[in-house]
Amino acid sequence: MSTRGSGSAIALALLAGASLAGCGARTPLHGDRPPGPPEVERYCGDHLRDDDEACDDGNGVDTDACVGCALARCGDGVVFAGVEACDDGNTTDGDGCQHNCARPTCGDGAVDPGEDCDDGDDDDTDACPSTCLRAKCGDGFVQAGVEQCDVGAANLDLPSLLLTQGPLSRAVRPIERAKSVVEFYAYASASGHTGLEASGVSHLFLYRDSTTGVLSLVAEHGVDTDATGAPQPEAAVGMSFFHLPFGAGISVVDDNSNEFFVAGTGVVRGEWTFHDNTDGGAISGLPLPGSWSVDVSPTFTAGISSWAYVDGDLKPLSLDRGAPAHLTAFEAPSKCRLDCTIPRCGDGRIDGGELCDDGNATGGDGCASDCKSTK
């Protein structure tokens, strides 16, 4: 046996064994893969829209089109900038924010706080004008079928003659007879005898002579004791008449001319002392129809307990003894009365510029067809 050949075989065997030992340390070709990177957590605001999100804009702004990964909508409680004026979290009207997330406005059809009504239109002639306040006389809107006119704060009652004192404002008429004021006053025995005299009472009234049309302003105080039997206590009365129109003057003096006199331009003064009789006087020449205003300022020192204006129907209106009274004449009516009616001759109300109004436009019945004469 050759030893050379046997040595070679042994060397080859050792080499093969070494090779097999090196291959045994390698990763198998078929087996488990190593683990990958951890899975990323998903959330609202990660800029990735998931299946349960309507949107995801990746910001924390709640006033844009994506609110909490839901699409912005009216009623979600968040005001969508540039789109909604308000959002109170509901779609109820009348609570300060409308169902469409608009601020309440007059004319939106919903009655909101501060509104009486809201019919959703701009018709100012119906029961709910564009102010959303119920239609009423004096609001400046003419309600169709209800009002004849309405000029708001310019609505006025301008009668032919107006008596005012404090809260009292009353259209008045003169006492009218077919005789002069001198005849009506019937001065005799140091007293007037108009039939209006009363103990302790001062009367003021307008008187018109229907035959001549002359209008007078009369003041009469107390009573003729001899005529009525009623005692008139000792009295002292002062009374001034201011702003008398041009042409007016004293026509009746009861007792003494020193007691009733002209005290200046447009001013007449009365200073009366009396007992058991009357005192007073009359100023005539007040134009009617006309435009004037006379102030009557009284001072009752003694003997007179009440002051009254006697209207054309002879019914007295109580006056405040401590305040002036005002008589005003208007030569033209207002455009619209306080009750939203248009003044016209024949409506039964004596307006500025009228001498009478019997409710018709027929002449010859005590009031002319133009309401300018009683013939």
Angle at 298 between CA 293 and CA 300, to 5 degrees: 165
- Domain layout of the chain by residue ranges: 48-103, 161-329
**74-105: per-residue pLDDT in tens?**
988 899 998 998 998 888 887 888 888 988 88
The mean predicted confidence, pLDDT, of the chain is 89
Note the pLDDT of residue 41.
74
> Does residue 5 register a pLDDT over 60?
no
Note the pLDDT of residue 79.
92
Note the pLDDT of residue 342.
98
Cis peptide before 289 (omega within 30 of 0): yes
**7-50: per-residue pLDDT in tens?**
444 444 444 444 444 444 455 555 565 665 666 677 888 888 88
**106-141: per-residue pLDDT in tens?**
998 888 888 999 999 999 999 999 999 999 999 999
Tokens of 331: 């030569």
**272-305: per-residue pLDDT in tens?**
999 999 999 999 999 999 999 999 999 999 999 9
Of residues 173 and 45, the one with the higher pLDDT is 173
Cα–Cα distance, 198 to 300 (Å, whole number): 15
Sequence-separated (6 or more) residues with CB below 8 Å from residue 282? 181, 182, 185, 207, 216, 217, 218, 219, 250, 251, 252
Q: Which of 109, 117, 147 is nearest to 133 (CA)?
A: 117
**297-325: per-residue pLDDT in tens?**
999 999 999 999 999 999 999 999 999 99
| Residue pair 131/139 in contact by the 8 Å Cβ criterion | yes
Of residues 64 and 217, the one with the higher pLDDT is 217
Of residues 61 and 148, the one with the higher pLDDT is 148
